[in-house]
Amino acid sequence: MEILAAEDIEIGTDLFPPLSPLASSLYESFLSSHCSSCFSLLPPSPPHSLYCSATCSLTDSFTNFPEFPPEITPILPSDIRTALRLLNSTGVDTSSSPHRLNGLLTNHHLLMADSSFSLAIHHAASFIATVLRSNRKNTELEEAAICSVLTNAVEVQDSNGLALGIALYDSRFSWINHSCSPNSCYRFVNNTTSYHDDLAYPITIPHVTNTETLSNLELQEHVRTVGYGPKVIARSIKRIKSGEEITVSYIDLLQPTGLRQSDLWLKYRFMCNCGRCAASPPAYVDSVLEGVLVLKPEETTVDYHHGTTNKDEAVAKMTDYIQEAIDDFLSDNIDPKTCFEKIESVLHHGIQFKADSQPHCLQLHACHYVALNAYITLATAYRIRSIDSETGIVFDMSRISAAYSFFLACASHLLFSAEPCLAISAANFWKNAGESLLDLASKFPLERSVESDVKCTKCLILGTPNSNRDIKEKSRQILSCVTDISQVIWSFLTRGCPYLQKFRSPVDFSLTRINGERKESIKDQTVNVLLLSFHCVLYADLLADLCYGEKSHLVS
């Protein structure tokens, strides 16, 4: 099944009203902090409650969970809880075939063909049948429920991108297929957001032939209007023609083709054949995400190598080394200082190798996917150090954290310019850059007195609600100001940071050393940091508005 556009759809259009889930579950670690029904944060008291209100407790179709047997691994407890809630709800069609449950694909045959999965599914199905006291002769239905959760459930994130749990939606959402260059994205809305159900929405779903399922859909509609659980909305991020297929992404799109393909195979058991995956030569974004630079020490020229094989070993070595440092940092095993020294050293020095009997230096492209992950880690590591540190270096740590956040935002811009579906990642990175720069501005001794001077007369009008310039024109204006400000401020932001200093400009990643730092007063530095922060937030808002239909609320 698939979903097709019933009419031409403009960019930034919500495709259907917010849908409540058929079933959902928090991940284990959020069970005591969030409401098991609506996923909102629980009040601190009373303690040990699973729900935020009596209504939420009433709308949960299954509340008594016994302990899960260990044999269900690699299936997660949240998958089982969702399957149990689905089977216990009034809307489930118990006469479904193993291949579809309430119209939702189960991929039963594919999942059962994998020996490690099939055993786990079998154990999980027997466990569910026991819990539900099923008197059916076999566990086909329970297996179908688990498989449909594995195939269709999506991870629910809060407004900060924190993954709280999973939710399973009806065919209006679950029939949307994946593309690595999707034309739509989805987001979750909280229960207080009001929408008009009588609005016309530009997609229709093909008729479900099974009348049982239709009446189930009506039942689900009732639960939907009661409105429990985290609601989902899909929104177009590209112009879509009538009859064109609606697609979203099931995975992280800031990965090169091979990694995306293996992610999709591991999680969904299919090989993606979308335009981006099938492109030959690879799409620009993918060649950059895997790109390496070859620097010949005696020459100033730089070769760009994409997808070469003779340097694979060197790239793998560098990638493993950086990834190890990132993993150590994320697992709290390592002091942030050790982490950033290790990562910066590889980013900066790259790796030496011999080609044509001459020594060359190999470096990851500034937008290599491992480098992007390294910047995220470094921005966090420096920020942590700025909080933990002795007073003397707080400012410097905060400054370098802001430099990495901004560099990452610029990298995401380059990728987004070539692939519009990366708008969501870009919006998040620009928002983080704005926040980091604002944090840095707060550490200047002069901040309060100069705050009122910080206005960009060119861009101020862009943020007003009735500004009728289109998104391209607004982006162009904001980015032109960002380029100007960063020319002045980049050498200050990157002081003492040899890797970032390699780049003359973070906007185009040109690799020319900075010739000394511009001399500016503290007041000018403060104004420029605040101005840059303002523009980052403005740009993040523009992108967030496109993808989510709402501002990031950083600028009031």
| Interface with ligand SAM, residue 175, by CB under 6 A | yes
CB of residue 467 to ligand SAM, shortest distance in Å: 38
Point out which span in 32-40, 47-55, 76-84, 175-183 binds ligand SAM (CB under 6 A). 175-183
| Interface with ligand SAM, residue 96, by CB under 6 A | no
Q: 4, 11, 50, 105: which one contacts ligand SAM (CB under 6 A)?
A: 105
How far apart, in whole angstroms, are the C-alpha atoms of residue 115 and residue 29?
A: 29
Residue 430 near residue 409 (C-beta atoms within 8 A): yes
Draw the binding track, 62-81, toward ligand SAM (x: CB under 6 A; -: no contact).
Answer: --------------------
Contacts of 488-492 with C-beta under 8 Å, sequence gap 24+, read 488/518, 488/520, 488/528, 489/525, 489/528, 489/529, 489/532, 490/403, 490/514, 491/516, 491/517, 491/518, 492/399, 492/517, 492/518, 492/520, 492/525, 492/528
Q: 106, 152, 477, 526: which one contacts ligand SAM (CB under 6 A)?
A: 152
The kind and range of the H/E element at 352 are strand 351-355
How far apart, in whole angstroms, are the C-alpha atoms of residue 249 and residue 237?
A: 12
Q: Which residues in the 512-551 window bind ligand SAM by CB under 6 A?
A: none
Residue 126 near residue 147 (C-beta atoms within 8 A): no
Other beta carbons within 10 angstroms of residue 444's beta carbon come to: 18
By beta-carbon proximity to ligand SAM, the closer residue of 99 and 296 is: 99
Contacts of 520 (CB under 8 A, 6+ apart): 488, 492, 528
Residue 188, beta-bridge partner list: 232
Residue in the block written with tokens 């080609």: 355
Q: Which residues in the 28-47 window bind ligand SAM by CB under 6 A?
A: none
Residue 146 near residue 83 (C-beta atoms within 8 A): yes
How far apart, in whole angstroms, are the C-alpha atoms of residue 366 and residue 115?
A: 41
| Interface with ligand SAM, residue 107, by CB under 6 A | yes
Beta strand 184-189 with 231-236: parallel, antiparallel or unpaired?
antiparallel
By beta-carbon proximity to ligand SAM, the closer residue of 169 and 534 is: 169
| Interface with ligand SAM, residue 210, by CB under 6 A | no
By beta-carbon proximity to ligand SAM, the closer residue of 34 and 231 is: 231
CB of residue 104 to ligand SAM, shortest distance in Å: 6
By beta-carbon proximity to ligand SAM, the closer residue of 20 and 151 is: 151
Lookup: tokens for 488: 């002045």
Q: 13, 174, 184, 287: which one contacts ligand SAM (CB under 6 A)?
A: 174
Number of residues assigned to the chain: 556
By beta-carbon proximity to ligand SAM, the closer residue of 1 and 219 is: 1
Point out which span in 155-163, 177-185, 443-451, 536-544 binds ligand SAM (CB under 6 A). 177-185
By beta-carbon proximity to ligand SAM, the closer residue of 1 and 393 is: 1
Draw the binding track, 257-286, toward ligand SAM (x: CB under 6 A; -: no contact).
Answer: -----------xxx-x-x------------
Omega before residue 46 within 30° of 0, cis: yes
DSSP 240: B
| Interface with ligand SAM, residue 430, by CB under 6 A | no
* Interface residue list for ligand SAM (CB under 6 A): 1-2, 105, 107, 151-152, 174-175, 177-179, 268-270, 272, 274
